[in-house]
Structure 1
Amino acid sequence: MEKRNVFDEAASLTEFWSQRTLQESNGTLLKVAKGLDSTRWHSHDDQDETFLLLSGRLVVQLRDGDVELNPGDLLTVPQGVEHCPVAPEEARFLILGKTVTSNTAGGKPEWSHAEGSL
């Protein structure tokens, strides 16, 4: 067993829209991420994607309306639902899902490296 601090882990990330797996529980990965600006529109055919916002603001655009998340808010995007997370300011969050989705198919933009990390 290892204790992890989600706030410290999220703060140490060097890329936007990338995920770091912290732990696994009952087949669910608990991953930290940070975002700025927007991902691409995408969906996950193999899993739901749950966001728990730690800091900042995150707007999850859906085809039928936007859902704004503030710190402490939780949202599950069901499997197969097209979405586009947008962070108007740097946002840090926990993602729960079966696999890591920080790739082009998971909506990750080409520019996602944080300043100074290249």
Structure 2
Amino acid sequence: MTNKPINLVEKFATFSEHWSPKIVAQLNDYDVLIAKVEGEFNWHNHPDTDEMFMVIEGEITIEMKDGDVTLGPGEIYVVPKGKDHRPVAKKEAKIMLIEPQGVPNTGDPATAKTKEWR
């Protein structure tokens, strides 16, 4: 831990791949992640934890069986644990996620991307 702030603009500039979350900080037992997203992610759920999405830049829609939620810059939505969802971005968007350490981004450890530090 350093006594320097984390600059998200600089962190986002270090990668270009989509749907590959990067850890930028840890808060207790939670990862603070950023990701660039575009297109459709797969339908999934997290049976044991909620998942928080915050849009930094752009727009995403979180599709759910009982209705979609569209988020713009500065907006947050928490998907309740166990709820099937699929994030979608028509154009590239930059998002932040907060979730317990070790949670697979696809809901399934076998198909999850390995989370890297940035």
Same fold (TM over 0.5): yes
In structure 1, the partner of 2:108 is: 105
Q: CA deviation at 1:14?
A: 2.7
SS of residue matched to 1:65 = coil
Aligned to 2:55: 53
- Check conservation: 2:45, 2:107, Cα contact below 8 A: no
Give 5+ residue unaligned stretches, structure 2. 114-118
CA distance 1:92–1:108, shift in 2 (3 Å): farther
Say if 1:39 and 1:108, in contact at 8 Å, map to a contact too. no
Alignment of 1:77 with 2:94, yes or no, is no
Check the 8 A contact 2:39/2:91 in 1, yes or no: yes
1:28 aligns with 2:27: no
Structure 1 runs, 4 residues or longer, greater than 6 Å off: 106-109
Give structure 1 stretches of 5+ with no counterpart.
110-118
Q: Which residue of 2 aligns with 1:115?
A: none
What is the root-mean-square deviation of aligned Cα atoms in Å? Answer: 2.1
